[in-house]
């Protein structure tokens, strides 16, 4: 069986940064916590036996739960989708109807995976009303149904102690204890006032949230947890994490999901940790 890997493209996905992150994984830890799991690149690279994963995006968390609990139904439904613009816009428009709330978890998960595989640049973005609004991607042969990866993920979830949450990041780590490892990958502090990409959830993530996250980081440090966090290489982030127990390291990652070509390519980021 192939090693599990992300089954979605996700803004801020960590595949490009994995070589740097691997250098800073604690040699031993108890439970693994990832409160902003996104597409799960770090989770699937680590494959911890005991993990608590979380995301504020309820549509995304529904996909994880369906993969864990309803894998066969999900795969069968994914096989029904078509890579055609008219069909794409029909499926995309479902969340603009009253009937959308009545859809089964399997149908909602199938829709999100389909849209992710066929929309422009593999972007998940919603408007102010929470409606998916990315256009058709015009890909010749997108892999809408990747049975091998989906089944491998299902096996991993069911053969290990993996809890899947949909709550605020502070609640997601409320039970973390000494010797646990917490990896934070929040929506990044914007490099410019116009570059913010937080529309994968309705509520966004502002500077107050970044400071709230810093407070949580320090609280976990005081509990004896190993804490690693990735974020933008901005003065604001470096300033709020300026603390004697915190190490900040600049790293470089390729960023491919951006509506403007100038926003892609190698960008400096920071890895922030309280150990090693």
DSSP secondary structure string for all residues of the chain: -PPP--SS--TT-STTTHHHHHTTS-SS-S-EEESS-TT-HHHHHH--SEEEEE-S-HHHHHHHHHHHH-HHHHHHHHTT----HHHHHHHHGGGGSGGGGGS-HHHHHHHHHHHHHHBGGG---B-TTS-B-PPB---SS-----HHHHHHHHHHHHHTEEEEE-S-HHHHTTT--TT-EEEE-PPPPPSSTT----TTSTT---HHHHHHHHHHHHHHHHHT-EEEEEEE--HHHHHHT--TT-EEEEEEEEE---SSGGG-EEEEEEEEES--
Q: What per-residue confidence (pLDDT) applies to 198? A: 43
Same domain, 177 and 247: yes
Same domain, 47 and 175: yes
Same domain, 104 and 45: no
Query: Rounded to whole angstroms, how far apart are CA atoms 246 and 264?
Result: 29
220 occurs within a structural domain: yes
Statement: residue 183 has pLDDT above 80: yes
Statement: residue 256 has pLDDT above 60: no
Same domain, 82 and 49: no
* Contact criterion met (CB below 8 Å) for 56 and 205: no
Q: What per-residue confidence (pLDDT) applies to 203? A: 59
100 occurs within a structural domain: yes
Most confident of 47-56, 126-135, 253-262: 47-56
Q: What per-residue confidence (pLDDT) applies to 235? A: 96
8 occurs within a structural domain: no
The CATH number given to whatever domain includes residue 114 is 1.10.1020.10
Statement: residue 124 has pLDDT above 90: no
Average pLDDT along the chain: 91
Same domain, 119 and 256: no
Same domain, 177 and 268: yes
5 occurs within a structural domain: no
Same domain, 121 and 250: no
Domain final residue pick, 121, 147, 173: 147
Query: Rounded to whole angstroms, how far apart are CA atoms 110 and 259?
Result: 25
102 occurs within a structural domain: yes
Residue range 15-32: mean pLDDT, rounded: 95
Please state which of the ranges 96-100, 128-132, 172-176 shows the lowest mean pLDDT: 128-132
The CATH number given to whatever domain includes residue 167 is 3.40.50.150
Same domain, 38 and 94: no
Residue-wise pLDDT for 132-174, tens only, equals 999 999 999 999 999 999 999 999 999 999 999 999 999 999 9
Statement: residue 263 has pLDDT above 90: no
Domain that holds residue 81: 66-147
The pLDDT confidence band at residue 195, using thresholds 50, 70 and 90, is low
Q: What per-residue confidence (pLDDT) applies to 1? A: 46
Same domain, 111 and 83: yes
Q: Which residues of 74-83 are buried (b: 16+ CB within 10 A; e: fewer)?
A: bbebbeebeb
The pLDDT confidence band at residue 264, using thresholds 50, 70 and 90, is low
Statement: residue 44 has pLDDT above 90: yes
Q: Are strands 265-273 and 226-232 parallel, antiparallel or unpaired?
A: antiparallel
């Amino acid at each position: 069986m192939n090693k599990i890997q992300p089954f979605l493209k996700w803004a801020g996905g960590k595949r490009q940064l994995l070589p740097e992150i691997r250098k800073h994984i604690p040699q031993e830890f108890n439970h693994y916590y990832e409160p902003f799991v996104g597409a799960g690149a770090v989770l699937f690279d680590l494959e911890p036996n005991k993990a608590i994963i979380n995301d504020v995006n309820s549509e995304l968390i529904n996909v994880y739960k369906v993969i864990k609990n309803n894998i066969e139904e999900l795969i069968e439904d994914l096989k029904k989708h078509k890579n055609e613009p008219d069909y794409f816009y029909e499926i995309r428009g479902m969340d603009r109807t009253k009937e959308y709330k009545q859809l089964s978890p399997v149908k909602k998960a199938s829709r999100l995976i389909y849209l992710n595989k066929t929309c422009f640049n593999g972007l998940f973005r919603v408007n102010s009303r929470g409606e998916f609004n990315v256009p058709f991607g015009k890909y010749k042969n997108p892999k809408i149904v990747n049975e091998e990866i989906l089944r491998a993920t299902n096996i991993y979830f069911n053969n290990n102690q993996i809890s899947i949450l949909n709550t605020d990041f502070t609640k997601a780590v409320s039970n973390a204890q000494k010797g646990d490892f917490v990896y934070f990958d929040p929506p990044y502090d914007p490099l410019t006032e116009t570059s913010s990409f937080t529309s994968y959830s309705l509520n966004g993530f502002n500077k107050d949230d970044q400071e709230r996250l810093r407070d949580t980081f320090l609280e976990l440090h005081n509990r004896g947890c190993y804490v690693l966090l990735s974020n933008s290489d901005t003065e604001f982030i470096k300033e709020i994490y300026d603390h004697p127990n915190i190490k900040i390291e600049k790293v470089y990652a390729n960023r491919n999901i951006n509506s403007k070509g100038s926003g892609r390519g190698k960008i400096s980021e920071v890895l922030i940790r309280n150990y090693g």
